[in-house]
Amino acid sequence: MAGLVNYVQESYNELKNHVTWPPLSEAQRLAVVVAVFTVIFALAIWGVDTVFSRAIKFYFNLVGA
């Protein structure tokens, strides 16, 4: 248990004293960029999935299975 407490204390110390955090405005801007690209990639994957699904359905209808 002492090892866990030591780990948490050292992690907190590292984050507080040794990490350079970006300004809030930059962090918010980057979060919006990540959210936008996440939605774009999700829509792209959905589109490819839809195309492949229809192609497979067409193939099986063509074969008559």
Map out the domains of the chain as residue ranges. Answer: 26-65
Instruction: Give the confidence band of 65 by pLDDT, cuts at 50, 70, 90.
Output: low
Rg (CA), the chain: 24
Tell me, what's the pLDDT at 3? 87
- What's the pLDDT tens digit per position in 8-40? 999 999 999 999 989 999 999 999 999 999 999
Separation between Cα atoms, residue 35 and residue 4, nearest integer Å: 34
Task: Write down the pTM of the prediction.
Answer: 0.64
Q: How many CB atoms lie within 10 A of CB 22?
A: 10
**pLDDT recorded at residue 49:** 98
Q: What confidence score (pLDDT) does residue 2 get? A: 81
Question: Using CA atoms, how far apart are residues 34 and 40, in angstroms rounded to an integer?
Answer: 10
